[in-house]
Amino acid sequence: MQVELRHVSKTFRQNGRTIEVLQDINLTVREGEFVCLLGPSGCGKSTIINLIAGLESSDQGEVFVGGTPVTGPDPSRVVVFQDAALFPWLTVQGNVEFGLRMAGVGPAERHARALEYLKLVHLSKFVHAYPHQLSGGMKQRVAIARALVLQPAVLLLDEPFAALDAQTRAVLQNELLEIWELARPTILFVTHNVREATGLADRVYVISSRPGRIRDTQTIAVPRPRHADDPVLQAHQYKILGILGEEVEKVFQEELGETVHFPEARHEASSEQARGMHI
Amino acid sequence: MIRNVFRTLFPKGYSFLRPEALVLFVIVWEAAAWLWPSWPSLLHKVLPALERDFTDPTFVQAVVGSARRMSIGYVWVMLVGISGGMLLGRLPIVDQLLGSFAVAIHAIPGAAWVPLSIVWFGMTERAVIFTVLLGAAGIVMVETDTGIREVPPLIGRAARTLGARGLNYFWFIVVPAAIPKIVGGLRLAWAFGWRALMAGELLTSVNGLGQRLNQVAKAQQLDQLLALMLLIAAIGIVVDGMIFKRLEYEVRVRWGLV
């Protein structure tokens, strides 16, 4: 389903100061599109996810999914959080079945569907394990299976792989793309990793911080499977890094009161930097 | 060899009684007995007195009686404490009207409830059980209430996006999330309840360990008295260690709190 934000603004009050987390955000994600929200920490990307999920409401503007305004959370818009957020008292199977149980699906069908998706994330051998027995990568796989088993129209991921090591991240990115091909939900994927964004998304929204605004949109018209050393990808990354460099400098300035200069952001990029390795 | 027995009975991770501690205890006790002749020796006077007690049928009856009263009282504590705590945590109106009462009940020590129990139920078993209930239910209520209120925010958000709402949300998310706190409360309640039981039995004429304490003190039998106290303490330690401490640990591990 299509996701649309129209003139969305949100402010937080903290210690008497008003912080504009999001300022006049306008974005449209077409049905079945894979979009990344990219930006430095604290720029409101998670807030956008929460708004679409219905966990928070905007102060101004509206959020539409499939043409209808968002009023609250719903299993058609599931979120995968950075910290898996699995229910520790349930087994892997119990976790994946949870949404189906809430929807009133009977036990036999629940079991079958849960197993199907656990196979997709390559965890069929861990069906009866408890979350505390799993590694970070495995927990995220369960979280993804738990979300996708509901066949949501919109899948929201809030920096899901940020806490994982590079190898696990690469594997899970591929798994996510594979599963996406099957049902093609609309995906909004939040990350601060430029390489991840350009490697996964059809389009990347680059978001500035405080106030959170959309600084740029990059359409990555590179067919999948994509390769890290594709020069088109690297050009996108370079452009994005330029914008982000300015943003990060701004954040440093605000938070630390110091002027920090990222010379690489403005000059000819080294190959390391163009691949986002320095982030 | 003693170590091996201990290892099988109390596997690692939550052993609650090291053999070394027992040995130290015995040594210190015997040293005190040697230094102060009026203090009876553990090995020569106190433990034999306990052995003799166990051949006395009235004594065994007393132990069984105490155990029975404690079990019945504890079941009530669980029922009243957990349901009360859930109501307090979930329904603001209940909290506003009765919240302070729960805390007040919890603040009154078990022993202080005995006179009231006697007034209401006479010098009967029921009075003792009632004392246990009032002495221990408070902590269960308070801990359950806190547990119900403190669902980890991320879990709550994940649950809501997965479609959990209203009563489903309460039974399938809030209550399971509260279990570690509830189990912690049940563990404390056992200790509070055991204390309240002793106080209740001490002051009523019901045939239990508490009342036996009274008898023995009147008869000025120090070795019997100490034997009794050791038994009471041992029961407390063993039940807490083997049942509650272990349960609490396992729960905390699974919930990812350890």
A89 interfacial to chain B (CB closer than 8 Å)? yes
Distance between CA atoms of B178 and B47, rounded to whole angstroms? 43
- Least confident range from A244-258, B51-65, B107-121: namely A244-258
In this predicted structure, the answer to whether residue B63 has a pLDDT above a threshold of 80 is: yes
A189, A37 in Cβ contact below 8 A? Answer: yes
Residue B206's nearest CA partner among B117, B141, B136, B108 is: B117
Tell me the Ramachandran region of residue B208: left when phi exceeds 0, alpha when psi lies from -120 to 50, beta otherwise.
beta
| Inter-chain touch A79–B179, beta carbons under 8 Å | no
Nearest CA in chain B to A73: B161
Per the model's pLDDT, the better-predicted residue between B113 and A261 turns out to be B113
Q: How confident is the model over A129-157, as a mean pLDDT? A: 96
For tokens 């052995």, the residue is B51
Check residue A262 and give its pLDDT.
60
Tell me the Ramachandran region of residue A85: left when phi exceeds 0, alpha when psi lies from -120 to 50, beta otherwise.
left
Distance between CA atoms of A109 and A97, rounded to whole angstroms? 10
| Residues of chain A neighbouring B154 (CB-CB closer than 8 A) | 81, 83, 85
A88, A39 in Cβ contact below 8 A? Answer: no
| Inter-chain touch B253–A132, beta carbons under 8 Å | yes
State how far Cα A257 lies from the chain centre. Answer: 30
In this predicted structure, the answer to whether residue A269 has a pLDDT above a threshold of 50 is: no
Distance between CA atoms of B136 and B190, rounded to whole angstroms? 7
Nearest CA in chain A to B164: A102
| Residue A21 host element (H or E) | strand A17-29
Q: How far is B11 from chain A (nearest CA, A)?
A: 20
Q: What is the largest CA-CA distance in chain B?
A: 72
Beta bridge partner(s), residue A188: A35, A156
What per-residue string of b and e applies to B151-172 under the rule 16 or more CB within 10 Å gives b?
beeebbbbbbbbbbeeeebeeb
Query: Of all residues in chain A, what percent carry a pLDDT higher than 90?
Result: 72
Q: How far is A204 from chain B (nearest CA, A)?
A: 24
A129 interfacial to chain B (CB closer than 8 Å)? no
State how far Cα A23 lies from the chain centre. Answer: 20
Nearest CA in chain B to A49: B161
| Inter-chain touch A88–B168, beta carbons under 8 Å | no
What's at B85, amino acid-wise? G
**Structure confidence at residue B221 as a pLDDT band (50, 70, 90):** confident
**Structure confidence at residue A268 as a pLDDT band (50, 70, 90):** very low
- List the Cα angle A105/A109/A110 in 5-degree steps: 65
Q: How confident is the model over B196-207, as a mean pLDDT? A: 87
A5 interfacial to chain B (CB closer than 8 Å)? no
Residue A81's nearest CA partner among A8, A162, A13, A25 is: A162
Q: How confident is the model over A15-32, as a mean pLDDT? A: 90
Write the DSSP symbol of residue A212: B
In this predicted structure, the answer to whether residue A192 has a pLDDT above a threshold of 50 is: yes
Q: How confident is the model over B69-86, as a mean pLDDT? A: 96
Rg, chain B, Cα only: 22
In this predicted structure, the answer to whether residue B14 has a pLDDT above a threshold of 60 is: no
| Residues of chain A neighbouring B157 (CB-CB closer than 8 A) | 53, 55, 73, 79, 81, 85
Annotate A83-149 with three-state secondary structure.
Answer: CCCCCCCCCHHHHHHHHHHHCCCCHHHHHHHHHHHHHHCCCHHHCCCCHHHCCHHHHHHHHHHHHHC
| Residues of chain A neighbouring B160 (CB-CB closer than 8 A) | 55, 72-73
**Structure confidence at residue A254 as a pLDDT band (50, 70, 90):** confident
Q: How far is A243 from chain B (nearest CA, A)?
A: 32
- Tokens for B28, please give them: 């210190």
**Structure confidence at residue A243 as a pLDDT band (50, 70, 90):** confident
What's at B120, amino acid-wise? W
Phi first, then psi, for residue A217 (nearest 5°) are -125, 130
Coil, helix or strand for A154?
strand
Per the model's pLDDT, the better-predicted residue between B43 and B73 turns out to be B73
For tokens 């630390």, the residue is A256
Check residue A267 and give its pLDDT.
45
**Structure confidence at residue B258 as a pLDDT band (50, 70, 90):** confident
State how beta strands A186-191 and A34-38 pair: parallel
| Inter-chain touch A78–B162, beta carbons under 8 Å | yes
In this predicted structure, the answer to whether residue B12 has a pLDDT above a threshold of 80 is: no
Q: How far is A50 from chain B (nearest CA, A)?
A: 9
